[in-house]
Chains A and B, each alone.
Chain A
Amino acid sequence: MRALIQRKSWITWLVIGFVTFYVISTLLTLGFFFESFSRLTLPGVSPVLVVNQYLLAAFLSLFFIRFLFQKTPRMKIVPYLHLPVSRTSLATFFQVSSLATVHNVYPFLFFIPFWMRFVVPDAGLAAASSWMLAVVLLILASHFAILYLRSTLQQHTGLFYVLTLLLVVTAVIDEWLGAGLQRMLSEFLFTDILRGSLLGTAFVASFTALGVVLSTRSLLSGLRPDPPSATREHPWLRLPRTAERLLAADWGAEGQLIRLELLLMWRNRRPRHYLIISLLFSTMYLAFMLGPGNRITGAGMNALIGLFASGGFILNYGQLMFGWDSSYYPALVTRNIAYRTLVKSKLVVLQASCLVLFAISLPLFLLLAPDRMDVHFAFLFYNAGITSVLVMELAARNRQAIDIGRSGGFFNYEGLSSRHWIWFIPTALPPVLFMMAMGNHRQLALGILASVGFVSIMATNLWARYFARGLQARKQRMLTGFRE
């Protein structure tokens, strides 16, 4: 693994190239040859009708991807605020320039060939043009809605939980109870547009216009400086008293470092958002994976469920364990802190997160998939013992600084390199491949994974020593990377 990481530059480019090629060719193929796919899934139904039924769902999925990755222009504006240019002009300029993003391009790799092959011959050029206009407007609406949503969530974090709850309730009604509301609405809207009705297009256009106005206003109001985050004003910035007592006692440097890690998550926007997203992955996403309508079985899927159920936090947050410290890394390396102690405190936090997520997602397994309890138990040990170590290997080689207080929006993966995503694959793949290779011997496979994990947990001190040696050797490279 170490050799692979050292050769990361060309491997990274290779993987990026492969993934890009895969995505482009898949979208183009889907667009040009959609009838082959729709014949398999919905035989006898016109490809245009199939797409119309699922367009809103597709836009919702793209919306989720945008939520995680799309950048907001807020941070870009800040350096220009002192110039003699009106804020409205600046906001308008950056709103328009923010449209130049890959999120607004790749959907067309599907839509353009699909439109040419199926929509135009089916509905005629005039109606097909209205249909394409509606698609373009929906892409724009998604773009500006994301800017508005993230900016609003930044100012009213509590809204995130309300929206999440709303999404869950809607999804439950739509999917689990079989109402199919979004499919009906999607079919109604786009079939109506194809019949030449202007009402549907006007509806989408007004939605887009609303997005533009709201996001611009919210961008302007968000340019005021953040208020001080004094603990006096936000008592919740303190850790719960029990945790404080436990950690502030006489646990020495290790206890202080664990406390520091918890306060980092508690008091800083970006780490906190990673924590929240990890919790959502390990609960809501898991509920859908285990839910009756979406139940996918198989050894590989079991491994993925096990990985995310208790290891969601490690996979999402762990690679940045040292990156989070980048702004004060000199404060750590010039103090009397042994690298071994620093690494051990981080490993303990990662291991403890597995136990917490295990407990949180346990009711979901009991309720929805009691037959997969063995997976949940085995992966608790595997994640705590092995996933934590694999992720720490990546974290200890990360030289990219992360701005923990960056306030570009409520949550996203802004600032993370593609490396972060590419190295997720070798971290998650071994147990998936192992479970698949073991085929029908599920209990044996889980037993082996749990045992290996348990042994690795017992060897935490050895791992700490191993990583400490590496960190010491790479100290200057990390310091240089974090400074840059």
Chain B
Amino acid sequence: MATLTWHGSSYPTQVLVLTGRSLRALLRTPALVFFSVLQPLIMLTLFSQIFSSITSTANFPPGMTYINYLLPAILVNTAMQSSLASGIGLVQDMSNGVLARFRSLPIRPSTVLLARNLSDAVRTAFQLVLMIAFGVLVFGFRPDGGMVGTLAALGLALVVGWALSWVFIAIAAWVRKAELMQTVGFLAMFPLMFASSAFVPVGGLPGWLQAIAKVNPLTYAVDAARSLALAHPVTGVVGALATSGAIAAVGAFFAVRGFRRPLSL
């Protein structure tokens, strides 16, 4: 018989190896990386030009440039879009047979989910750094919070995206249909994005939209990121982090349960 046999690696090794696998796959498909940064970049470019006249309206904080106002929102938004891609990535893994292979191995199913979540967080971090770089170099982003404040805003956006990624991984584990998730995800996010403080101050919205914006969690995430980057009195950062933690915990719980169901059903 064989001289050496392997009976499964440790939990951290499984997570590390699987995370590495996703990142390596990403590096080997540069087109995917390119398009994943293209979308937020287009948004940054268009919005910074289209909405720049908002700075002269009554509700806009006096003395602030629009790019300083916009970029923290772009960070949160990019992280949110990226979390949807995380769920879709899991569905694609399920359908192309790789997960069937993993399931026949002596590894814990939750490591597959954790690895997907972590590798996507790395990808998101890369996207966010790139957005900030473009903001600074091309569009004149000069936040009062400086480097530290900007990095803090990046960190917050990353945590929000990480938490939402658990939600979409959970949905993916139950729904298992990429097209459906893409459509519903977009339909849910698109209005959320505009009915918030992301692009214009809430005070400038019509009354009914104001009502939505005030209960929209995205408003709080964007405001928190903005307060960090712009060195405003920090509001809602603890709340945003705590909410993210709670969302992540619930998402992860349902993700693991849903993922346990057999693949071939």
Genuine A/B complex: no
Binding site for B on A (CB under 8 A): none
Residue positions of B touching A, CB distance < 8 A: none
